[in-house]
């Protein structure tokens, strides 16, 4: 019905009355499309409501880049759409940024804003706020994320936060050379927790503690935040936060320092229903962990990963069963990933403790054991696999209570020293986005790899060592997405040298289809003009190029710009960029214009440089 409404198809009698309804509708759809003018796409038949729903999944620059000046209808949609996501923490091409600048965007329609000093972005926080002053976002902005350049910029943005009237989500990710002082951290904490009354979600992605000077006099107010994420936290800080929050429902800790636990304060965790811990940074024995969890009686979701243990109690399903039944009766979701060292462990005994009615029937929680016998390491985890990154195990003995070892959550896979016998055919990674290959056997074929990796849909492949030329060619040839690759220069040249002349020609044809490339000149003392010309020949249609190491001559930059006709982004990590600290912006720009031989002009590029990196965006 929805499809018919989208395309304006109505039920009616016709010459094909004896056909079923579906075929009848398809017939009318085909006739309608044949009558359609060639310059109108099927997408344009969709109603505005569906198109606006699709916009929800795109960033502002993608929407404007795709639909600006398409026609009157879409131009009107761009002006009236009320939920734009402005994200400057990504590789934004200069042409996209120009479109955002030129379209008179109604700031009242921006719902989410991400400000960043990411080196791979063509703009930074200061430039963004010059174009769009922060006070323009005060009324309707609901989500704000920023990565400040330094402590001064961090404090400047924090002091403005109470002005936002509808702010619900706040993320602060710091990558500073020096951590803020304790006084500044306390000032930041008090503003975030007690002065932004609309805030519900808060993420502090920083190695420095958010809880300095906790013992000083605290404000009477309590925080309205319900969902927290912290890079690091200890048990005292966790208790303090619970005491100063009205309704803490969820907390996610990336590195927990819960090495000991003594319940000091007479308080209860009466509202916490979800707890996630990615890693325990200090040894924590089983009894202390259970003592801590026993106070979280209302938990409905518990996730623990990155716990390294020598005690067998962590891998004892019977103990977990008894504890959950007594202290966590409302627990619905339980995920864990434990690592245990024991050369004499019997994994059949371990897995048997997770095969009771409690685990299999009542809770439907399934567990897998992967045992590296030679190294005496046991990985025991719930299914589906809870991490999004996996280093595939070799020579592994596996036993599981699940019929299928669900790996749908894994987005990044690392293959290291893999042989044909190591591939477990029951594994199938269907949702991979990135694949990293380290030393896989030359006898592994594309078909063998693709049966459990679905390589054709992977967006990024990293080659960390030399790879069989036939496999490399098949990976490039049969990939259906716009793939980006990262490879070492020496490994690439060695692979081409070992390939047959016919295979080499086939590989070069596929290399010329690559649009995004990261190339590492590891073990190369200094890049030469011959090597740069080789890269320009092999990847002649490259649009985004990142070069790591060994870049010393800035004369080679102009060679890259002239030779790569489709280049839109260039990032170079060099040993030293000549005159980078002594030459001003206008001199560098003028030098690039002069050397590019008309490719660059005053209005079509942006460049940034430092003592270690050079970045260029070309319109």
pLDDT grade, residue 540 (50/70/90)?
A: very high
Q: Does residue 321 have a cis bond before it (omega within 30 degrees)?
A: no
What is the pTM for the complete model shown?
Answer: 0.82
pLDDT value at position 399?
A: 92
pLDDT value at position 265?
A: 47
CA distance 118 to 149: 9
CA distance 431 to 411: 6
Query: Residue 218 belongs to what H/E stretch?
Result: none
Residue 572 has pLDDT above 80, yes or no: yes
Q: How many CB atoms lie within 10 A of CB 479?
A: 18
**Beta bridge mates, 50:** none
pLDDT value at position 127?
A: 83
Compare 551 and 73 and report the one with higher pLDDT: 73
pLDDT value at position 598?
A: 84
Q: Which of 53-67, 322-336, 342-356 has the lowest mean pLDDT?
A: 53-67
Per-residue pLDDT tens digits for 385-409? 888 888 887 778 889 999 888 888 8
Q: Are strands 301-309 and 274-277 parallel, antiparallel or unpaired?
A: parallel
pLDDT value at position 112?
A: 92
Are 339 and 378 a contacting pair, CB within 8 Å? yes
pLDDT grade, residue 30 (50/70/90)?
A: very low
- State mean pLDDT over 586-615: 85
pLDDT value at position 187?
A: 92
Q: How far is CA 587 from the centre of its chain?
A: 37
Per-residue pLDDT tens digits for 165-191? 999 999 999 766 567 888 999 999 999
Per-residue pLDDT tens digits for 367-378? 999 888 878 888
pLDDT value at position 287?
A: 75
Residue 198 has pLDDT above 50, yes or no: yes
pLDDT grade, residue 13 (50/70/90)?
A: very low
pLDDT value at position 204?
A: 96
CA separation (Å) from 178 to 158, 174, 175, 233? 18, 10, 9, 19
Residue 557 has pLDDT above 80, yes or no: yes
Residue 352 has pLDDT above 90, yes or no: yes
CA distance 46 to 430: 30
Are 605 and 615 a contacting pair, CB within 8 Å? no
Q: How many CB atoms lie within 10 A of CB 375?
A: 11
- State mean pLDDT over 72-84: 85
At a CB cut-off of 8 Å and minimum separation 6, what does 188 contact? 154, 155, 158, 180, 210
pLDDT value at position 93?
A: 67
The candidate with the shortest Cα–Cα distance to 571, out of 526, 524, 613, is 613
Three-class DSSP category at 513: coil
Provide the angle, in degrees to the nearest 10, between the axes of the packed helices 286-293 and 317-327.
Answer: 20
pLDDT value at position 170?
A: 97
Compare 519 and 581 and report the one with higher pLDDT: 519
Per-residue pLDDT tens digits for 291-337? 888 889 999 999 998 767 666 778 899 999 999 999 999 999 999 99
Q: How many CA atoms lie within 13 A of 219 on its CB side?
A: 14
The domain limits of the chain are 2-43, 48-123, 142-296, 300-410, 515-619
Q: How many CB atoms lie within 10 A of CB 61?
A: 22
Helix (H), strand (E), coil (C) string for 342-357:
CCCCCHHHHHHCCCCH
pLDDT value at position 581?
A: 43
Compare 205 and 26 and report the one with higher pLDDT: 205
Per-residue pLDDT tens digits for 204-260? 998 788 988 877 756 678 999 999 999 988 888 998 999 899 999 999 999 887 765
pLDDT value at position 546?
A: 93
Per-residue pLDDT tens digits for 412-454? 999 887 877 777 666 788 888 999 998 888 888 888 888 878 8
Phi-psi bin for 417: left (phi > 0), alpha (psi -120 to 50), beta? left
Task: Determine what percent of the chain is predicted with pLDDT higher than 70.
Answer: 84
pLDDT grade, residue 588 (50/70/90)?
A: confident
pLDDT value at position 267?
A: 57
Are 126 and 608 a contacting pair, CB within 8 Å? no
CA distance 547 to 532: 10
pLDDT grade, residue 15 (50/70/90)?
A: very low
Mean pLDDT (the chain) is 83
The yes or no reply on domain 142-296 and CATH 1.10.3470 is no
Query: Residue 380 belongs to what H/E stretch?
Result: strand 377-383
CA separation (Å) from 271 to 220, 296, 304? 20, 9, 19
Per-residue pLDDT tens digits for 104-163? 566 778 899 999 887 777 788 888 888 888 998 999 999 999 999 888 999 999 999 999
Q: Which of 164-168, 338-342, 377-381, 557-561 has the lowest mean pLDDT?
A: 338-342
């Amino acid at each position: 019905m929805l499809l018919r409404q989208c395309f304006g198809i109505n039920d009616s009698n016709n010459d094909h009355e004896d056909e079923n309804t579906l075929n009848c509708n398809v017939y009318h759809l085909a006739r309608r499309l044949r009558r359609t003018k060639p310059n109108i796409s099927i997408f344009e038949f969709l109603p505005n409501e569906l198109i606006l729903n699709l916009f929800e999944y795109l960033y502002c620059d993608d929407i404007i880049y795709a639909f600006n000046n398409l026609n009157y209808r879409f131009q009107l949609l761009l002006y009236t759409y009320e939920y734009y996501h402005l994200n400057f923490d990504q590789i934004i091409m200069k042409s996209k940024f120009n479109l955002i600048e030129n379209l008179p965007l109604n700031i009242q329609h921006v719902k989410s804003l991400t400000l960043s000093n990411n080196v791979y972005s063509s703009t930074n926080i200061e430039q963004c706020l010059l174009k769009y002053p922060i006070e323009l976002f005060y009324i309707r902005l609901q989500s704000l994320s920023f990565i400040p350049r330094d402590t001064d910029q961090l404090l400047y943005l924090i002091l403005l936060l109470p002005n936002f009237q509808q702010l619900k989500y706040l993320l602060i990710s710091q990558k500073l050379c020096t951590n803020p002082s304790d006084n500044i951290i306390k000032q930041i904490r008090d503003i975030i927790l007690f002065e932004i009354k609309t805030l519900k979600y808060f993420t502090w992605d920083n190695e420095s503690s958010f809880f300095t000077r906790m013992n000083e006099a605290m404000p009477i107010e309590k925080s309205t935040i319900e969902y927290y994420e912290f890079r690091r936290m200890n048990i005292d800080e966790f208790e303090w936060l619970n005491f100063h929050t009205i309704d803490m429902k969820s907390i996610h800790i990336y590195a927990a320092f819960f090495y000991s636990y003594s319940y000091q304060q007479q308080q209860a965790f009466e509202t916490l229903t979800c707890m996630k811990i990615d890693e325990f940074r200090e040894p924590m024995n089983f009894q202390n962990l259970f003592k801590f969890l026993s106070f979280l009686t209302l938990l409905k979701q518990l996730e623990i990963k990155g716990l390294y243990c020598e005690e067998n109690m962590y891998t004892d399903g019977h103990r977990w069963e008894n504890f959950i039944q007594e202290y966590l009766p409302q627990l619905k979701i339980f995920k864990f990933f434990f690592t245990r060292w024991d050369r004499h462990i019997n994994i059949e005994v371990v897995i048997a403790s997770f095969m009771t009615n409690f685990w299999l029937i009542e809770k439907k929680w399934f567990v897998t054991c992967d045992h590296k016998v030679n190294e005496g390491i046991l990985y025991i985890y719930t299914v589906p696999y809870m991490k999004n990154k996996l280093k595939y195990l070799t020579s592994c003995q596996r036993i599981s209570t699940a019929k299928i070892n669900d790996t749908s959550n894994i987005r990044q896979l690392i293959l290291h020293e893999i042989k044909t016998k190591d591939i477990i055919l029951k594994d199938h990674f269907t949702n991979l986005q990135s694949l990293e290959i380290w030393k896989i056997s030359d006898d592994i074929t594309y078909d063998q790899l693709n049966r459990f990796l679905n390589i054709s849909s992977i967006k990024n492949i990293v080659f960390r060592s030399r790879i069989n030329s036939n496999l490399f060619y098949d990976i490039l040839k049969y990939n259906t997405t716009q793939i980006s690759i990262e490879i070492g220069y020496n490994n690439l040249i060695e692979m081409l040298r070992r390939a047959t002349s016919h295979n080499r020609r086939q590989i070069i044809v596929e290399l010329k289809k690559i649009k995004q490339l990261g190339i590492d000149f590891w073990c190369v003392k200094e890049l030469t003009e011959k090597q740069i010309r080789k890269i320009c020949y092999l990847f002649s249609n490259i649009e985004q190029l990142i070069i790591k190491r060994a870049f010393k001559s800035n004369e080679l930059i102009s060679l890259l710009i002239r030779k790569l006709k489709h280049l839109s982004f260039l990032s170079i990590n060099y040993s030293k960029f000549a005159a980078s600290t002594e030459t001003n912006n206008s001199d560098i720009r003028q030098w690039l214009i002069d050397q590019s031989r008309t490719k660059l002009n005053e209005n079509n590029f942006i460049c940034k440089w430092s003592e270690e990196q050079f970045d260029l965006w070309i319109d």
